Amino acid sequence: MLFNSPVFLFAFLPLTAAICFLLRATVDRNASLAFLVAASLFFYGWWNPAYLPLLIGLAVFNFLLARIILIERTRPNGGWKNILVTFGVAVDLGALAYFKYTDFLITSVNTVAGTDWNLQHIVLPLAISFFTFQKVAYLVDAGRGHVEPHSFLEYCFFVMFFPQLIAGPIVHHHEIFSQTKKDKSFRFDRLNITIGLTIFLIGLFKKVVLADNFAPLASSVFNQAGSGQEVDFLRAWEGMIAYTLQLYFDFSGYCDMAIGASRIFGIKLPLNFHSPYQATSIIDFWRRWHMTLSRFLRDYLYISLGGNRKGPARRYLNLFLTMAIGGLWHGAAWTFVYWGAMHGAMLIVNHGWRAVWKTPVNTWWSRGIARAITFLCVALAWVFFRAPSTDAALAIYSGLIAWSPEVSTRALLTNFAWLIFWVSLLWLWPNTQQWLARLRPAFDFSFKDMKVDPLLFPINSELWHRVLAWRPTPIHAVVIGIATAVSLLSLQRVSEFLYFQF
């Protein structure tokens, strides 16, 4: 069931909300909690009920093992705590590896060793990459003693709540347990519903009106490269930029819809997407793009590898390995590993440059240059991310530098003008969190955070407070209503979110 499908928009979401609020008003908080867990299982099973036992089985396994680990922590020297954590993480990652990487490993071995082992053609369970990382973090934190008291029902809600189940954000347990215990949790609240619907509908607009209209151009270019055809200069640049914008609005739209749907029930999800194309460096980019994945890779992989505690050389190696593994997490193909490795290399260069160049990037022109360079580097890396094969990616890269005097000047200027338009929009327009900042739309974002990362126009201006900043007023309702109407008229074909494949 997709967020942008009619059955979700007009049946599942409103019906689930109505029953949840009714149970909260007539029974208690646990009744609403139990119903939302059941509704989330129905939501997941809508795709393929055959994989519900996997989702439920891993959830029960990790909950029981965490209970044993917490008991072991009270024994002298931690008892069997470390062994149990290692065992649990191995089981979780083993399940992920079996379903996601079996054919990838067989293909790689066949290529290197010249063998002819048969592929297993295992169907990838939806969202296994996301809920595996949540469970790994939960087990590791249980071993560290960082998990606060919670019931099995609260745990099931944490790992199964439908807005974040399929493609994140990768929610941390304390972000959920701290909210489920509140007395006002899951109550009918007009402000929560208003805020939630506003964010959700903004995300719907980004997905069906913007991202889905970039998709045909991006797909045609990458399919052309994948079929072995040569890609000329203009086509290569058009395809790369189209995919760069498609992925931006697709993932941004999904993140908004997840945060918005969750807020309807009074639950705030963590921020996962914060204007990443405004980044002034690759370091800054990963603080804005898939923020909860970056957090997981930092806290549970990079630091476990040694972080920056063992000297600069080891630090750079850890950065590279973390990003390469993060690339492989996205997909079972060498193109994803290359994409991650490119970002690892760029992070190493970025950290090295900061060690040499001490001048801050704090003027309008220096920030503009830094943003342009970062945007270009990110776009170039997306080629490997999108390409169906290494050869297809190399064909795109060849096209990017295949300048010819026959290139149409008019077409070149037209494409450049469109690029300037979209980049200006991404740089100048406030994102969803900034637009609703005073109402704390996400778990970890509020108005004070805008002062750390200010907009390009003054946030304290009269124009911002009286006109632009979102409030539940008729004029803002009209704006969202028009965007919603355009979105619904665009629902002629329901397309998956790009991150669903991971």
73 and 22 within one domain: yes
Amino acid symbol at 388 = P
Inside any domain, residue 317: no
Q: What is the pLDDT of residues 319-354, one digit of tens each?
A: 999 999 999 999 889 999 999 999 999 999 999 888
Return d(Cα 46, Cα 34) in angstroms, integer: 18
Return d(Cα 233, Cα 116) in angstroms, integer: 39
Domain boundary among 188, 208, 234: 188
196 and 171 within one domain: no
Catalytic residue, from 172, 274, 330, 476: name it.
330
196 and 162 within one domain: no
Q: How far is CA 172 from CA 177, 268, 406, 446, in A?
A: 9, 12, 54, 19
Q: What is the pLDDT of residues 152-166, one digit of tens each?
A: 999 999 999 999 988
Interval 401-421 mean pLDDT: 88
175 and 152 within one domain: yes
Inside any domain, residue 346: no
Return d(Cα 371, Cα 417) in angstroms, integer: 18
Tell me which of 160-164, 433-437, 460-464 is least confident: 460-464
pLDDT, averaged across the chain: 89
Q: Report CA dihedral (414, 417, 422, 427) to the nearest 10 degrees.
A: 170
Domain boundary among 158, 188, 218: 188
Interval 393-402 mean pLDDT: 94
Cα first-last separation, the chain: 16
Known active-site residue 146: no
Structural domain including 124 reads 6-188
120 and 60 within one domain: yes
pLDDT for 450 equals 59
Of 245, 204, 247, nearest to 2 by C-alpha is 204
pLDDT for 118 equals 84
CB 490 within 8 A of CB 212: yes
Q: What is the pLDDT of residues 104-151, one digit of tens each?
A: 898 888 888 888 888 888 888 888 888 899 999 999 999 988 888 899
Residue 449 pLDDT > 80: no
Which range among 200-204, 446-450, 490-494 has the greatest average pLDDT? 200-204
Interval 211-215 mean pLDDT: 93
Inside any domain, residue 50: yes
172 and 28 within one domain: yes
Of 79, 92, 177, 161, nearest to 132 by C-alpha is 92
Residue 494 pLDDT > 80: no
Other CB atoms within a 10 A radius of the CB of residue 409 amount to 7
177 and 59 within one domain: yes
Go through the chain and tell me how many residues it has: 502
Inside any domain, residue 225: yes
Which residue intervals of 120-264 are DSSP H helices? 128-144, 152-160, 162-165, 173-180, 190-205, 212-226, 233-264
Interval 433-456 mean pLDDT: 70
Domain boundary among 160, 188, 216: 188
Number of domains in the chain: 2
326, containing H or E segment: helix 312-330
11 and 60 within one domain: yes
265 and 401 within one domain: yes
Number of alpha carbons in the 13 Å side-chain half-sphere of residue 291: 19
pLDDT for 462 equals 59
pLDDT for 241 equals 96
Residue 247 pLDDT > 90: yes
